[in-house]
């Protein structure tokens, strides 16, 4: 199955660590990162899509973060 996740986080090192952890679990970057201002929190937010091929059949109960 082909899996997709959109990783998001405030613009801190936590975002870089989240993406790095996904890459080390076999996820691959998909497209360019995005960067936007979150007016409600008053901070910049980052987003990066990642994809991964994994065995099995996708269901809505699939725990993407555990793949």
SS (H, E, C) the chain: CEEEEEEEEECCHHHHHHHHHHHHCCCEEEEEEEEEEECCCCEEEEEEEEEEECCCCCCCCCCHHHC
d(CA 44, CA 34): 10
Contact 36, 2 (CB under 8 A): no
Average pLDDT of the chain is 95
Whether 13 shows a pLDDT value over 90: the answer reads: yes
Q: What's the pLDDT band for 66 if we cut at 50, 70, 90?
A: confident
pTM above 0.85, yes or no: yes
What are the sequence ranges of the domains in the chain?
A: 2-53
Q: How many residues does the chain have?
A: 67
């Amino acid at each position: 199955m082909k899996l997709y996740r959109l990783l998001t986080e405030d613009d801190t090192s936590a975002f870089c660590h989240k993406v790095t952890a996904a890459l080390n679990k076999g996820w691959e970057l998909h497209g360019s990162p995005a960067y936007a201002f979150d007016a409600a929190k008053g901070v910049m937010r980052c987003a990066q899509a990642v994809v991964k091929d994994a065995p099995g059949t996708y269901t809505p109960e699939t725990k993407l973060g555990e793949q």
